[in-house]
Amino acid sequence: MKTFSPPATVLSRRRFVQGVALSGAVAGFSLLRPSNVWAFTSPGQPRVLSGTDFALEIGETPVNFTGATRMATTVNGQLPGPILRWKEGSTVTLRVTNRLRVPSSIHWHGILLPFRMDGVPGISFPGIAPGETFTCRFPVRQSGTYWYHSHSGFQEQTGLYGPIVVEPAGAERNPTDRDYVVMLNDWSDSSPEHIFATLKRQSDYYNFAEPTVPEFFRDVRALGMHQALAKRKMWNAMRMSPTDLSDVSGYTYTYLMNGAAPAGNWTGLFRPGEKIRLRFINGSAMTLFDVRIPGLKMTVIAADGQDVAPVAVDEFRISVAEVYDVLVEPQEDRAYTVFAQSIDRTGYARGTLAPREGMQAEVPALDSRQPLSMVDMMGAMAMGGGAAHGGMQGMAGMADMGGMQGMSGMAMPGASAAPPVVRHARTEYHNPGVDMHVDMPRTNIDDPGIGLRNNGRRVLTYADLHTIGGPIDPREPGREIELHLTGNMQRYMWSFDGVKFSDAAPVHFRSGERLRIVLVNDTMMNHPIHLHGMWSELENPDGRFQVRKHTINVQPAQRITYAVSADALGRWAYHCHMLYHMEAGMFREVVVS
């Protein structure tokens, strides 16, 4: 039974969604080209550090996003932290001083560097003790958009993050008139320790969109009484919810764009006819965002810092830790809303592109929340073949449902006629931490995901992305490692192959080898998986190179593969970038030797 806080102690829904206009730690920022002058468009100081030598201080700063003042973990007193502007081919030195009363760290997400500079306590270094300074020095071997964040405890949730922009050694492939970072984050006035303890105690505490009686009668009208009852019986037997899209929702989150709540209306200025680059970074702890700019077509030109063949879209989903660079060319002398709604449709981040300060455009209504489909639970079985089952209760009621299509109501793109057979580890069975197995996962990468299918807009998928220049390494993988993304949502336990990090042995890569990683999502949640230190080169279902990324989102009941060249000696982190999933155990160490 879900418990509710007394109304007097809960901020209004509007306050949580909209937030307040200003926070003492935040200010907008942009890069104006071709003069390469950094500027800002909101009250506050410019927040750009450029060159090769950087001094960063981790500390606490008061912020107010909801009408209540809280302490944030910040870099140089700013949230997000300052943009670090580097040049490909240079060597950068970063002196990071910890002014907190507890240990801290900074991980340079997506940056290729020696493992001892990677910033993961317990794996690459001991962490930065209170009052100490840790110096990182490494050559910059890449260009593009990246970011940095803490890898200590829950500090990433409380504000320790910021953007990195690396200019190419040569000319920009896509020169622009203006260049803006658009960083997306989720903020809560509750402590992350409290959120995590709440999830462990009641995993659906923040989900206020559970199936209702009116929805049951809608199912009866659409499916008939027999199948409507079978549908409810199945979900109840699985102890899962078809509305379980996000562990943490807008009930406690205020969604930020460049450190501004929706009411703060971060604004990027332009002149009609200019070409603008928007560098979207999802630096949130737990939230997937669906991004669009009504009235403007977006051309995606880079994914996770790597240039891709341009693709025009109306909308894209950006998972936690992912990065997309897009071009827009507004022709009219009017404002445009930059709209990023959460996957569970409980809130949004928003900003404005405008010719002048103070202008606003209409903010779209949130899309309706779509329930998880059979495809999201059963993979290829729901597309015409294979088998799937829940770990403990099984697929109760599935036979009565007759392969019910009413849960998805649509044909899936890229359905595979012969899905590959997967190999479950012994540790997945008879395991209280695993509540579901998918025996025949889907392999399609042309699915935009739950809530975006057939929505009338042109939505980006991984199948649209093609890294310019092809794979780094032309060799075929000589070895394959299969790992399953596993969990028990009710118990809030997450793992690889049913084994949480504290009980898991490291994964070993042989130095210089080319190997294939196979990931199978045995859960009904998205998991953005990040391998530190090396590129993950996503393959299409036929095993051909698709796109180079540092973070790959694996959809529910999906199998994906990617090639890795083990060219970085040392100890590396490998984990789901959902902060609370990682903390709950979906983390491994990779050793390259």
Confidence at residue 37, expressed as pLDDT on a 0 to 100 scale? 38
Superfamily of domain 373-407+420-593 in the CATH hierarchy: Cupredoxins -  blue copper proteins (2.60.40.420)
Per-residue pLDDT tens digits for 53-102? 999 999 999 999 999 999 999 999 999 999 999 999 999 999 999 999 99
Confidence at residue 471, expressed as pLDDT on a 0 to 100 scale? 96
Confidence at residue 21, expressed as pLDDT on a 0 to 100 scale? 74
User: What CATH number does domain 21-173 carry, 3.40.50.1820, 3.40.50.720, 2.60.40.420, 3.30.1540.20?
Assistant: 2.60.40.420
Residue type, 374: M
Domain residue ranges of the chain, discontinuous segments joined by +? 21-173, 373-407+420-593
Tell me which of 540 and 224 has the higher pLDDT: 540
Q: What is the CA radius of gyration of the chain?
A: 23
Per-residue pLDDT tens digits for 39-65? 444 434 458 999 999 999 999 999 999
Q: What residues have CB less than 8 Å from 459, skipping those under 6 apart?
A: 313, 314, 315, 316, 317, 448, 452
Residue 133, pLDDT > 90, answer yes
Per-residue pLDDT tens digits for 430-464? 999 999 889 889 999 999 999 999 999 999 999 99
Confidence at residue 578, expressed as pLDDT on a 0 to 100 scale? 97
**What pTM was computed for the model?**
0.88
Smallest CA-to-CA distance from 268 within 186, 167, 175, 178 is with 178
Smallest CA-to-CA distance from 525 within 456, 459, 470, 580 is with 580
DSSP string, 90-152: -EEEEEEEE-SSS-B--EEET----GGGS--BTTTB--B-TT-EEEEEEE----EEEEEE--S
Domains 21-173 and 373-407+420-593 agree in fold: yes
Residue 366 DSSP one-character state: P
Residue 9, pLDDT > 60, answer no
Region 325-350: what's the mean pLDDT? 97
- The dihedrals phi and psi of 322, each to the nearest 5 degrees, come to -75, 160
Q: Is 301 helix (H, G, I), strand (E, B) or coil?
A: strand
Contact (CB, 8 A) for 323 and 336: no
Q: At 526, is the pLDDT very low, low, confident or very high (cuts 50, 70, 90)? A: very high
Residue 190 DSSP one-character state: S
DSSP-assigned beta bridge partners for residue 114: none
DSSP string, 471-504: -S--SPPSEEEEEEEEEETTTTEEEETTB-GGGP
Q: What residues have CB less than 8 Å from 4, skipping those under 6 apart?
A: none
